[in-house]
Amino acid sequence: MATMSLTLDNTFTQFENFGHSLRAPSYGFHPTRVEEIFDVFNLAKNLGLTVTARGAGRSYNDASLNGGGIVLDMSAMDKILEWESASGLVRCEPGVTLKQLWQCVEPDGWWPPVVSGTMQTTLGGCLAANIHGKNNFQKGTIGEHVLEFTAMLPTGELIICTPKTNTDLFYAMISGWGMLGVFTSITLQMKRIHSGLIAVDAWPVPNLSRHLSDLLDNAPRYDYIVGWLDTTTGGQNLGRGQIHAARNLKEGEDPDPQTTMQLAYQQLPDRLFGLMPKSLLHYFMSPFMNNLGVRGINTAKYITSLRKHTFRQSHAEFHFLLDYVPGWELSYGRGGLIQYQSFLPKETAEDAWRGMIQLSHQRGLPSYLGVTKRHRPDKFLLTHTVDGFSLAMDFKVTNNKRAQLSELLQDFDHMVLQAGGRFYFAKNSETSAEAARAFLGEETIVKFNKLKQRCDPNNLLESDLFRRVFGQSI
């Protein structure tokens, strides 16, 4: 393969995680062609540096950070290469975002089978994490809808993987956090829809027990289910919240699908009440982002959600609620936020989360937002899912409480492991190599190491996440 001569001049940049709680200076490169990825591998090898691919940088932790090394920013490889509206097959470069994807396919009556809570993520990042959506219990992770991908290995080999070709790499690179190779193209199957609207049922749940049993019992009747959990309340109300369960409309249910599937119908408004730009909203949220303020807001939110109701909303509104307030994460202030997400079997979830929420209250470090989902297991090598539930909790980071928060989250890790749970490497930023080893198990680590040596014999692909959780295993 022909190589260009690359240098490191003027490329040193400060990269951050999504939660603005971590910073790592690195050399940034922005390939626009596959050959340039190989050039960067060569450069790294010659200079003794490591390389981390980065999509949109939407991981809450250090997954796409590489302090002192090279960051390969894939966002310029953002072309939709082929779209077949008859079959719903799409082939994309890895920097294509979910926003580009749904906006391409929806007007033709299709929707991505699995999406994250933000549409800003790239397909490369989504495959590397093997993201789940609010339909994980039904449709599995995004990897289950990938028909083929191509990837550049640090050896310079360009490989093609499908569920039947290079099977071991197919199941390891999807969920592999970019540590085996860099995705260069991705072919996905979209899902048919018959309307741009989705029917949502919303109802309150008074405590954790009802919260989880409602997720479990209702999931089979819906396409999507998600819960908001008030993590600031204890006692008998611990775990109270609200469930949103949604189903796609059947053919004929929407009198005017041609209109509702148009992009204009799906746009999230950029102004509040038609007046204030929503990009300014985080400044108004900031003064309430403290234990007392959030408790008050959560109580008001719970009280106003007590009525069971049904409504229709656009796909974009339902799926990308977190994009509704652009820059909401800035409301957490200078220290940023950490999201901690644990995945627990349905048999142990209630006791473990009760214990974790109580512990966070005892230590004066309540989470400000809790989100629950229903999951099913999958067969990807570094899978995070279980037959059970997940709870994602957002914590404010402040200088004087950073160490206590870190200790709390490591205590959570022990509680999750004891309950037979799993972690998701897109979120938690405190999980140690020891905890990761316990969660993944020896057999998985041995398999991963073998693939790592085959694909990346010089260990060029490393991230801060990799050094933190695999540092002692490779």
Ligand X SMILES: Cc1cc2nc3c(=O)[nH]c(=O)nc-3n(C[C@H](O)[C@H](O)[C@H](O)COP(=O)(O)OP(=O)(O)OC[C@H]3O[C@@H](n4cnc5c(N)ncnc54)[C@H](O)[C@@H]3O)c2cc1C
The piece of 2-10, 22-30, 127-135, 271-279 that touches ligand X (CB under 6 A) is 127-135
For ligand X, the binding residue among 15, 102, 110, 177 (CB under 6 A) is: 177
Strand order in the sheet with 182-189: 80-84, 89-92, 182-189, 146-152, 158-161
HEC-encoded secondary structure of 2-29:
CCCCCCCCCCEEEEECCCCCCEEEEEEE
Cα separation, 116 vs 62, in Å, equals 18
- Closer to ligand X at the Cβ: 50 or 260? 50
Binders of ligand X in range 20-59 (CB under 6 A): 52-59
* Minimum distance of ligand X from residue 6's CB (angstroms): 18
Q: How far is the CB of 188 from ligand X (least distance, A)?
A: 14
121 and 131 Cβ atoms separated by less than 8 Å: yes
By CB under 6 A, tell whether 395 contacts ligand X.
Answer: no
Residues 322-341 touching ligand X, rule: CB under 6 A, are 322
Angle 384-387-392 from CA coordinates, rounded to 5°:
55
4: left (phi over 0), alpha (psi -120 to 50) or beta: beta
User: Near ligand X by CB under 6 A, which window of 24-32, 129-137, 247-255, 258-266?
Assistant: 129-137
248 in contact with ligand X (CB under 6 A): no
Is residue 121 at the binding interface for ligand X, with CB under 6 A as the rule? yes
Name the β-bridge partners of 389: 344, 374
Q: Is the CB of 22 or the CB of 357 nearer to ligand X?
A: 22
Phi and psi at 392, nearest 5°, equal: -100, 130
Region near ligand X per CB under 6 A, out of 124-132, 155-163, 264-272, 300-308: 124-132
Q: How far is the CB of 118 from ligand X (least distance, A)?
A: 4
Helices (H) and strands (E) in the chain, counts: 16, 21
Whole-angstrom distance, CA of residue 167 vs CA of residue 156? 19
The DSSP 8-state label assigned to residue 97 in this structure reads: B
Is residue 468 within the footprint of ligand X (CB under 6 A)?
no
- Give the relative orientation of helices 433-440 and 402-418 as an angle to the nearest 10 degrees: 20
Tokens for 171, please give them.
Answer: 């199941």
118 interacts with ligand X by CB under 6 A: yes
Q: How far is the CB of 177 from ligand X (least distance, A)?
A: 4
Beta-carbon count within 10 A of 29 CB:
22
CB-nearer residue toward ligand X: 343 or 412: 343
Nearer to ligand X, 254 or 320 (CB): 320
> Where does this chain bind ligand X (CB under 6 A)?
18, 52-59, 63-64, 74, 94, 116-118, 121-122, 124-126, 128-129, 131-133, 177-178, 182-183, 322, 426, 463
